[in-house]
Amino acid sequence: MTLKNLQNNFGKYLLTLLPISNFTIHKKELSITIPSNKVLQVFTFLKYHSNCQFKSLCDITVVDHLRREKRFEIVYNLLSIHYNSRIRVKVLVDDLEPVESITSLYKSANWFEREAWDMFGVFFTNHPDLRRILTDYGFEGHPLRKDFPLTGYSEVYYDENKKRVVYNSLNLAQKFRVLDISNPWKSDNI
């Protein structure tokens, strides 16, 4: 039996046991999409079920799809050392929809979830210490969102005369980025 057949059978098996929207296999890796209100249930199953044993959380990241109704795609990458396999779990949420924290299951989720909060504004309920991790405490906004201004909201620099860091508000000529997907290197004349 090939790896793709095994993953396809495992995906069908998970569909019968878990609240999964769908599953796909891409580049030899199984991906499942789950509803945001079932995060803790699914991750508990994936970690402790004898046929899964995904005991290692490798990464949590967020993808911002600005024009979608469920704007953010939270992507969890898990590893089962016992079965030498990986699985990708995706959760789709909108701007204001909270997601249950999985730090009670995976300690490594702590900083990953803090980074997702800091950079994208995805809120995790029951997180033990959800505060900024990469930006300054007074920072406004979430810099990896696609609608965040390229220049930010304020200018920060060290003033040699005042011998301190200075914060100045910026007057933005354009409120949001222009999301033009045309290639600036291509020309109609070539």
132-142 pLDDT, tens digit per residue, is: 999 887 788 89
Q: Could you give the count of Cα atoms lying within 13 Å of 79 in the half-sphere of its Cβ? A: 8
Determine how many CB atoms are found less than 10 A away from the CB of residue 160.
Answer: 7
> For the chain, what are the domain ranges?
3-130
Q: Is 106 exposed, middle or buried (0-12, 13-18, 19+ CB in 10 A)?
A: buried
Say how far apart CA 40 and CA 48 lie, in whole Å: 12
pTM over 0.85: no
CA proximity to 83, closest of 106, 43, 45, 56: 56
CATH T-level topology, domain 3-130: Beta Polymerase; domain 2 (3.30.460)
Determine how many CB atoms are found less than 10 A away from the CB of residue 147.
Answer: 13
Tens digits of per-residue pLDDT, 48-80?
Answer: 999 999 999 999 999 999 889 999 999 999 999
Check residue 28 and give its pLDDT.
Answer: 83
